[in-house]
Structures are given as C-alpha cells and as structure tokens.
Amino acid sequence: MIFNINRFIAGGLGVISFLLLAGCSNHNEQQSDFKADDTSKAQPNILWIITDDQRPDSIAAYNRAVYGQSASPIGHVESPNVDKLAAEGVLFTQAFTNSPVCGPSRGSMHSGRYPFRNGHYAFELTHQNPDFVKPTVSQTMREHGYATSVFGKEDAYIYKWGPGQGFHDANLYDYKVHFKHDIQANGLGDIYTKALYGTVDGSPVMQGYTENVLYSDRPKKSYFLKRHQADLTAEDIAAKNAVSAEFDLLRSYTRGGNKNLIIGGVNPKPAGETVDAYIVKEMKNYLANANQPFKTSWGADAKGADSSRAQFINLGFHLPHTGVLPPKSFRDKFKDKVYKLPLFDKETELAKLPKQLVKLYEVVKSDTLTVEEKQQAIRDYYAFCAYGDALIGEAVESFKQYSKAHNQEYIIIFTIGDHGWHLGEQGIMAKFGPWQQSVSNAAIVVSSDKNLVPAKQINHDLVEFVDFAPTIMSAAHIDIQQPSFSYLDGVSLFDVMHQNIPKRDYVLGEVNIISGPRAYLHSKRFRFSMRTRPFSNINLTPAQLGHDIKWALQASAEQVEMTLYDLSTDPLERNNIAYDQSHAPLAHWFRQKLGNIVLGDRRIEADWSQANTYSLSDFAVGADDKKLNIPAHLIPAI
C-alpha cells in the first residue's frame, strides 16, 4: 500500500504514524542481565570519531584480526594510536555502512535509520518537517541532558527548512566547528576547492569553482578549476599546473567525472597545520578551556565545555578523503614502500557487470593510471591514514584527560570510515559501489568501565552503521527499548558484544549516486545488489514518488541489473554470477528478499522541496527479519 501525504485528510495522518512505528524495531526482546542503560550511574562523556573514506585495512589491528598480519593485503600501514585504542576495547571487524557515500551514510548514522526508511539516498538536502522524520542522535542526547558538540565534518545533510526560506543550519549540536565554514573560511588549512559566486544587479551569480592553496610562508593562491559558462584562462591553467608540480599532485585525470580530484600529493602545510589538525586543535581548546571563554584559532570568541554536563562530542575528520595530501613528514615514511596492486581484468570483469555498474566504472575508473601513479596513490593514501592516526591519538588523549580531570567516566566510539575507498579494486579509485571496498568498514568501542566494554576483544559479527545511534543512546543510559525509540533500525553494539541479541544474517544499504538507485544485501558468504528504481534522478518528482514501486520485483532480470558474488570462491568480488544459469535461481531468491525489504518494508520517498510530501510503501512489512533462510537446494556446495 502506498501513501502520499498530500492525499490524506488530517485524520489519515495517524494511520501513517502508526504504520511507521508499528513493527519498526529490529530489537529482539531477548535480554540478559546486562544493561548499558543503567540509570544508577552518572552519564559518561562520549567521543564519537568518524573518518572519511577510510578503508579498515589501513589499521594494523584490523589486519591482524582479519588477515593475521599487520600489513594490509596490498602492503604497509601504520596505526600505533588506533591499535592502542583497539586493545582497550572491542574491535568490530565487520561494520557495514548503509550507503557508500557520505551524505546518506552520515544521514543513516545520525538518524539510526536505513536510507530507504529516512528517504535519504544521495546528496539531497533533507529537513525535519515531514512527520516520518525522527530526532537525530545529537538531538536526543541534548534532550537527555548532554552538552553536544561537533568538530570537523558533520554533513548528514539534515537542515532546517521553511517555505520561501530555503535550507538552513538545523542546530543539531550546541557547539559547532565546521571544517569548511569555520576553518577553511577563516584562512586555515591546506588545499581546498570552493564554489565562487559574484553578484549581478544584487543577485548571486555562479562564477565557477576555485582551487585554493594555503601556504605557511606566503599569501594564499586561488585559481579557477572550472568557470561557469566560460573557458579557463591561460592564467588559470598555468597556476594549476604550477601548484600540481610544486606539490607532486596526482589528479584523477582518467575519470569521466571530476578530473581535478587530488588522489595523491604532499600537503603544502606541515603536520599540525592541516585542516584536520585544526579540527583536533579546536576540540582540544574546547575541552582545555572548560567553563571559561577562549579564542578560537581564527580569533573568534567561544566558551569551553560545560563540565557540569556530560559531553557528547562528534569528531569528524576530513581525511583521508580527497585531496589525499599527507604532510611531508608522514609522506616520507612511505616514499619507498612498494604495494601489491589490486587485480583487475577489464575485459572479463566488465563483461559480467550490469550497465549501471559499468557506468560507475567509466566515471571513476583508475585502471589507465600508470603503475607508478597507482603506487603513488596507494602510498599517499596510507600515509594520510597514518597522519590521521597521529591526530586521533592526540584527540583521544585530550578527551581522556578532560574526563579524568572532572572525575567522569568515558566512552569512545571510532567509526573507521563513513564508507570505504577502492585503491584499484574493480578498476576504480573511489567509493559509490556495492562491493566490499565501498561498504565494508570497522569500528572500535572503548569504555573506562571495563565491565561495560572489556579490553582486547575482537567481534566478527555483522553490524551496521545504523547501530551507532542506538549504541550512543544506550551509552547515555537512555532505554532504547521504549516504544518512543521503535523507529531505530539499528541495535546497541553493547548488546552485540555481550551476545544479548541474535546475530544478523545480513546487512543492508542503498545509494543513488552517479549511476542511479541501487541496493545491496551482504551476508558472510554472499554479496548481492540490484537496481531498485527504473529512473535515475536523485531528487524525485512528485509524480515519481512511490510510482511503480514493485518494478524491481517484476521487471526482467536483465533490467534489474543484478550482481551476486560467492565469497567462498570469489572473495575479491571479480566474477558476477547473477546471470550464470547455475546461479540464476539463487539470484532470483536474493532479488525477492532484498526487493521486498527496501521497496515494501516501509520505504519512504520524499519531495524535500515541500514540507510534508512523501510516499510510504508498506506492501511487505516485516520482510526485514534479519534472517536469510535460503532454501538449501539453492546454495552451491563449497
């Protein structure tokens, strides 16, 4: 059954609210004596760290847990501070993002809801006006007494909106330092791009995109990478080429999309002066100046943490996102490393991919880079991750010192990447795909209370990014089993680590970037993905909301553009067997399972240009039961 809110009289809204709440919870009623939400204890300080585009194999502790060696499968990594953090708590080796791109991934993390349940599939500017929207984790924490702050990259694409007013900051945190709007905008950082606007007759007019280089010893340099409705000037091209040569910049020139993205090079700033360094500095200043005024790095007036309240801090790194620019001191550590280049056979692998994923490859391909360029991209990526490790060490130590000084317990959650990053796997250097390197991440949970989170534990259960919101709430002694939190799609990682709930058989995700809408379902053995909608635009028109919602279940198998990988024989996902005659029945089974979940188990498609216009599809409520139960005759023998 499909609803559009504009077609309902006021009395009908209650039906929608009921359907959105009824059966939404994936929390199992089975519980043990363990409870994270013990209200007899004081609320702990919580630090939630998120990096951007970070592969879990950049962490030696992860590699030891998964591969039995400190190096990644392709070569050397350095992560002493994160390794130490992992040893203090539980390392989750199979934490899957619910969308392989930052906007919907962070939207899922902050809301605790899947993209298909919060209507957030790409870079849509969403807002909280519709009645299906629930508070973000930071808003809930604020309501339960926490002082909330965010440093660096938040970017959940959740805004405040009003007719004729457009989109504005939704005030999701009490204190906010954004890496673009506060740090880079005030002349701090390294290299960044920016949309430049001018005015004509008092109205803003797009001029193009500039690249801006911040030096330690000379004035900023700016030049256009793209001019709106005009060609680049000779001066633009000369300036770009000079900067590229000065900092050994490797750009993704083989892309069909943005050919200016920097996938390797040396940072123009030393360690301690990059944009990520200032993100950490601002968090440290906020804690060091508790209960008193202070000046930010750019001289603005601010007030430090209120130590009378428990702190919920979201520390969002920009690294190792493009531009991949490790400072020289870290880049030099990796300059002589030689990496095993990931295998990719263009002819055989692309021949078995559906058109949607071939299109993705064409836009973000890297296989035409030279061998040395590929080596540089990999070296610089892992060097940038190593620099991030040093900054994480600083931030963690500062947070621990603050908690100790104020006699407060603490919890640290590290989400290792808002999604992953390919370094040549599937022929690309990017994310966006349904494959392991795009969606398979890791997480670390640490507590000063070792009864809550024991040390030196490794957990290989399937967990998802929608789990972070309920984990944070539970850490704050909020009872997430209350009916008011039944909208959460995730579970508390405390319950996972203490085995209070059944294990999942699969994880889910969906994205609508570059090549159109696509969902995926991953189990420990099989990885399946499919096109979900027949149209590819990101911002759906009112006529498309919920239109032909069962298309992906009823169209031909070829139109749905499936992929299926059996990890028992193809762990690197190089051989799509969805259309092999011997595996077609299994692919069809997965198509029905995933399709019913993401299309019929309370799917939301919203028109975010309106206050409360959306469709709700509920033809398969309960399909997301976390169990596979694949008929035995469909499973190939190993």
| Closest-CA residue to 496 (of 63, 60, 92) | 92
- Minimum mean pLDDT range among 129-138, 197-206, 211-220, 232-241: 197-206
Residue 41 has what pLDDT?
85
Mean pLDDT of the chain: 93
Whether 11 shows a pLDDT value over 60: the answer reads no
b or e along 409-435 (b: 16 or more beta carbons within 10 Å of the residue's beta carbon)? bbbbbbbbbbbbbbbbbbbbbbbbbbb
Residue 204 has what pLDDT?
84
- pLDDT 10s digits, 517-535: 999 999 999 999 999 999 9
Query: Could you tell me the sign of the dihedral formed by the alpha carbons of 341, 67, 578, 437, in that order?
Result: negative
Instruction: Tell me if residue 230 falls in helix, strand or coil.
Output: strand
Check: CB of residue 521 under 8 Å from CB of residue 528: yes
Instruction: Tell me if residue 527 falls in helix, strand or coil.
Output: strand
- Residue spans of the domains in the chain: they are 2-24+504-634, 45-497
Check: CB of residue 142 under 8 Å from CB of residue 148: yes
Whether 34 shows a pLDDT value over 50: the answer reads yes
Question: What homologous superfamily is domain 45-497 in, according to CATH?
Answer: Alkaline Phosphatase, subunit A (3.40.720.10)
- pLDDT 10s digits, 444-503: 999 999 999 999 999 999 999 999 999 999 999 999 999 999 999 999 999 999 999 999
Dihedral-angle region of residue 324 (phi above 0 means left; psi in -120 to 50 means alpha; beta otherwise): beta
At 37, the pLDDT band (50, 70, 90 cuts) reads: low
Residue 25 has what pLDDT?
37
The CA distance from 319 to 388, in Å, is 7
End-to-end CA distance of the chain: 41
Percent of the chain at pLDDT exceeding 90: 88
| Closest-CA residue to 137 (of 167, 102, 100, 108) | 108
Whether 509 shows a pLDDT value over 80: the answer reads yes
- Minimum mean pLDDT range among 31-45, 149-163, 300-314: 31-45
Check: CB of residue 18 under 8 Å from CB of residue 8: no
Element (H or E) spanning 457, and its range? strand 457-459
Percent of the chain at pLDDT exceeding 70: 94
Whether 201 shows a pLDDT value over 70: the answer reads yes
pLDDT (average), residues 409-416: 98
Angle subtended at Cα 87 by Cα 414 and Cα 101, rounded to the nearest 5 degrees: 25
Residue 199 has what pLDDT?
83
At 257, the pLDDT band (50, 70, 90 cuts) reads: confident
Check: CB of residue 38 under 8 Å from CB of residue 88: no
Give how far Cα 50 sits from Cα of 329, 392, 419, 562, Å: 24, 10, 10, 31
pLDDT (average), residues 265-279: 98
- Minimum mean pLDDT range among 303-312, 384-393, 542-551, 583-592: 542-551
At 203, the pLDDT band (50, 70, 90 cuts) reads: confident
Whether 36 shows a pLDDT value over 70: the answer reads no
pTM, two decimals, is: 0.93
The CA distance from 114 to 264, in Å, is 33
At 2, the pLDDT band (50, 70, 90 cuts) reads: very low
The CA distance from 106 to 177, in Å, is 17
| Closest-CA residue to 230 (of 201, 244, 209, 199) | 209
The CA distance from 250 to 245, in Å, is 9
